[in-house]
């Protein structure tokens, strides 16, 4: 069974005239690294709120269709139960950290789940090691840099050993160097532990190289779904997706008649193709 399976999922917020998300049918396989993007109001946040049961448990409205997350039917489970299966990381790590030390913060979710002390200790060390913050265990969260705080937030989610992680623009508060490092950490967790990763992101420049799949939503529907080079075409640009700048450049050059075939996702891919054209 896939990690996530949605069938004809439709949700209308209470008081709203039209659905925010309509007839979403998709499945995400275990171990995939998926970028979920689309203009504001496209329904991506609504979809994510369904994944951990915030919809319909905390947001009232009308929900139709079926949703399975890690083989659990979401409508039978509480948000707390779902947190063992799926973890969430948000934009601003400050909103996720509140304990006196990093270690306490990473352990917080486990304590709430009632995980036995010994196992909790092992998991916390493992999570801190996997995110490269073991040296910071006794520091207060406010003493950390933004990048370190975001690592701590990811460690807190990782300690719950979820099979799926959803990250909502996890780098937008970070400087570009720290952003690259965080995306590297996320990609490594996906690769090493096969954690299914869903990254909600507007800035596609630094994340695209790690994703095997991009899902683009618009006006409550999935409009494009495929590998980054497939999806980053003219249609994506017209919807208003902020494609990587090298991809945008290739679209322009192609319209000018340059014989360029695939859409590059990274600077290296773009440089390689352009060099060939220029040196011919």
CA distance 19 to 13: 7
Pick the binder of another protein from 25, 60, 78, 172 (CB under 8 A).
172
Pick the binder of another protein from 57, 75, 92, 212 (CB under 8 A).
92
Query: What kind and span of H or E run contains 69?
Result: strand 61-69
The residue whose two tokens read 């917020």 is 13
Q: Is 40 in the site for another protein (CB under 8 A)?
A: yes
- 129, burial (CB in 10 Å: exposed 0-12, middle 13-18, buried 19+): exposed
Pick the binder of another protein from 91, 101, 125, 221 (CB under 8 A).
91
Total of chain residues touching another protein, rule CB under 8 A: 47
Both tokens of residue 140?
A: 């207060």
Both tokens of residue 221?
A: 């529907």
Cβ(51)–Cβ(67) under 8 Å?
yes
Q: What 3-state DSSP class applies to 18?
A: coil
Write the CB contacts of 17 (distance below 8 Å, at least 6 apart in sequence): none
Site string for another protein, 136-155 (x = CB under 8 A): ---------xxx--------
Pick the binder of another protein from 71, 119, 175, 234 (CB under 8 A).
175
Pick the binder of another protein from 7, 41, 58, 62 (CB under 8 A).
41
Q: Is 100 in the site for another protein (CB under 8 A)?
A: no
**Pick 176 or 184: Cβ nearer another protein:** 176
Residues that bind another protein (CB under 8 A): 38-41, 45, 91-92, 145-147, 169, 172-180, 202-203, 205, 240-242, 244-246, 248-249, 252-253, 256-259, 267-268, 270-271, 274-275, 277-280
């Amino acid at each position: 069974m896939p990690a996530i399976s949605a069938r004809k999922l439709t949700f209308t917020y209470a008081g709203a005239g039209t659905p925010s998300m309509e007839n979403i049918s998709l499945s995400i396989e275990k171990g995939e690294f998926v970028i979920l993007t689309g203009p504001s109001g496209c329904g991506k946040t609504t979809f994510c709120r369904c994944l951990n049961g915030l919809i319909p448990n905390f947001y009232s409205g009308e929900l139709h269709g079926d949703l399975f997350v890690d083989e659990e039917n979401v409508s039978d489970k509480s948000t707390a139960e779902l947190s063992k299966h799926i973890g969430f990381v948000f934009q601003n790590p400050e909103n996720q950290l509140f304990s006196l030390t990093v270690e306490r913060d990473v352990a917080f979710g486990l304590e709430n789940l009632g995980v036995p002390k010994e196992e909790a200790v092992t998991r916390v060390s493992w999570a801190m090691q996997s995110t490269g913050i073991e040296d910071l265990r006794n520091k207060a969260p406010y003493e950390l840099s933004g990048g370190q705080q975001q690592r701590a937030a990811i460690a807190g989610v990782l300690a719950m050993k979820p099979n799926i992680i959803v990250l909502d623009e996890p780098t937008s508060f970070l400087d570009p160097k720290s952003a690259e490092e965080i995306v590297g950490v996320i990609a490594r967790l996906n690769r090493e532990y096969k954690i299914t990763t869903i990254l909600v992101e507007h800035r596609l420049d630094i994340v695209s190289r790690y994703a095997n799949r991009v899902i683009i939503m618009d006006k409550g529907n999935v409009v494009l779904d495929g590998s980054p080079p497939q999806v980053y075409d003219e249609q994506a640009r017209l919807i208003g997706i902020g494609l990587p700048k090298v991809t945008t450049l290739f679209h322009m050059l192609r319209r000018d008649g340059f014989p360029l075939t695939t859409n590059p996702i990274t600077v290296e891919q773009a440089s390689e193709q352009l060099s060939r054209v220029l040196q011919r």
